[in-house]
Structure 1
């Protein structure tokens, strides 16, 4: 975990060979929220992208390097004081020995907070 104690994983559920759902909880007391933003904490987008990478690494059992991101859409602010529980859908495709493609949709409650398409390579 790049950011110590930033989040915890409740579970990772295999839906099919390509699809997984994960539930994570953000730590609303983490130092990053003191500066982003005082009195109105917002989860930084780059931190969300790191969570997706770390979950993908855990699922695949391999270190990954981000090659590209596309169609990145931050659709709702994630305030960890109001919505600390996030559900992430991860759909994998591509050649797992070269380009690993991950399509993600992140939700809190019924709200879509983030959609993106990342391409990784094994480290």
Structure 2
């Protein structure tokens, strides 16, 4: 996703990952989604969750099931450049059962529940 976002701080304790993220409001994706009212696309949010998991766990994964994706508030990059991500996961065999919340100023804007299949399990 290039420079769409930057992870400012990430903490991994037990099976919980928290990250402070800064969006790049001038990223090209916002010119098309949507031109006069840019918002962070849902697909980018799921990719962000996957990327933070991969970085924290030092493993790659593929989304295999999304049980819930609930959009509570649009993330407008010009207004909400700083967002917080909390991921709680459970590793079962080669799968990660994940619950994630993306928040703006401590107010949830996106909730996710689903499963990722890890493609390597070296550091779990």
TM-score bin (small chain) = over 0.9
SS in 2 for 1:54: helix
| Aligned-pair CA distance for 1:94 | 3.2
Match of residue 115 from structure 1: 111
CA deviations over 1:38-92 (Å, ceiling 9, x no partner): 1211110010000000000111100111111112101100000000111001001
> Which segments of structure 1 move beyond 3 Å, counting only runs of 4 or more?
none
Counterpart pick for 1:10 among 3, 8, 11: 8
TM-score (norm 1): 0.92
Aligned length in residues? 119
SS in 1 for 2:86: strand
The root-mean-square deviation of aligned C-alpha atoms, in Å, is: 1.0
| Aligned-pair CA distance for 1:118 | 2.0
Counterpart pick for 1:62 among 55, 59, 62: 59
